[in-house]
Amino acid sequence: MPKLLIVDDSALMRKHLRSIFEETGAFEIRTARNGQDALDQVAAFDPDVVTLDINMPDMDGLTCLGEIMTAAPRPVVMVSSLTRASAPATLEAMQLGAVDYVEKPGGTVSLNIDAIRREMVEKVTAAVSAKPRRARGLLSRVRHTRQATVQPRRAAPLGRVGGLVLIGVSTGGPRTLEDILPELPGNLPWPVVVAQHMPGTFTGSFAQRLDRICSLEVVEVTGPAPLTPGRIYIGRGDADVVIGSRLGRQIVSSVPCDPAMRWHPSVERLVRTAREAFPADHLIAVQLTGMGDDGAAAMAELRAAGGRTIAESEASAVVFGMPAELIRLGGASLTLTARAIPGQIRTWLS
């Protein structure tokens, strides 16, 4: 039975979370009241997965997470109020090695935690088998930042674009995208559109964060916009990102969620709308880490029609769910580690 450590400074929240996971009967559970208590429990209890609050007195969640991922890496799911103000801290937690995050509805001490019971259990259960990654050091960030300054951004040309790179990603995605997107050159001839399962309060901050470290310009899709080379489009959260055309030009848009799709922005919907706007052999689709199967069927059909597809390999995927399903369907042209993917995209577009 996997061991779960719940870390929160609120006794009420610890009680709510413990109740949720005790009802599953699937975990051995302990709790910690602050960051230092959590570090002591990690050493003594050796949990398989940790849920960690961000805002705690004395030692906050980010400091605690950094200590865990440096000394004894293991899957950590952040539990936080998902507001625009908290977005940078939660994204920093992903950078430090957290696997995922869950919203704490109603604020720091919530009486409505049952509203996210299903999501909480699913994400923590998936995290048990996730691959923990050590905290990324400053040198890696400096390297990416320098790369972005060395390669000047190209002016976006007018008219139709020749093709499109599509990326679908979920659990473990923010850090994986930070490994891949900065390695794409500023003169990439095709635009890139990303469907990352993420709340709308986060995607703007995430796009800004990526824009600081990428050679390509990175923008959040908030409304209809022309597709242009030299740009990465991050689909706005709590909506779907789709491809279409207007006045003879291909466009990318943010539209209300399709209720038939469980995860948003929907990878499946992104790929299917791209197929309506581009020939299959003018599309490259990449399926990265994430639980579930969003996008796998559409990408498999794309490959069968002559498109090129990549599934992230189990060796690097934080959660080998979405790419595994693409492979199972016979829809992966190639299976590559995250670090090998940008080189393959460059090769295909050279």
- Among all residues, which ones are annotated catalytic? 170, 197, 294
Q: What angle separates helix 61-71 from helix 35-45, to the nearest 10 degrees?
A: 30
Are 102 and 119 contacting, i.e. CB atoms less than 8 angstroms apart?
yes
* Contacts of residue 25, Cβ cutoff 8 Å, sequence gap at least 6: none
> Which two structure tokens, joined as six digits, stand for 76?
């950590």
Q: Which of 220, 223, 198, 199 is nearest to 209 (CA)?
A: 220
Alpha carbon distances (Å) from 149 to 66, 85, 134, 155, 211: 28, 28, 26, 15, 11
Is 177 buried (19+), middle (13-18) or exposed (0-12) by CB count in 10 A?
A: buried
Cα-to-chain-centroid distance, residue 255? 20
Q: How far apart are the first and last CA of the chain?
A: 50
Are 186 and 151 contacting, i.e. CB atoms less than 8 angstroms apart?
yes
How far is the C-alpha of 69 from the C-alpha of 262, rounded, in Å?
31
Q: Which of 338, 218, 216, 221 is nearest to 273 (CA)?
A: 221
> Which two structure tokens, joined as six digits, stand for 176?
């994986």
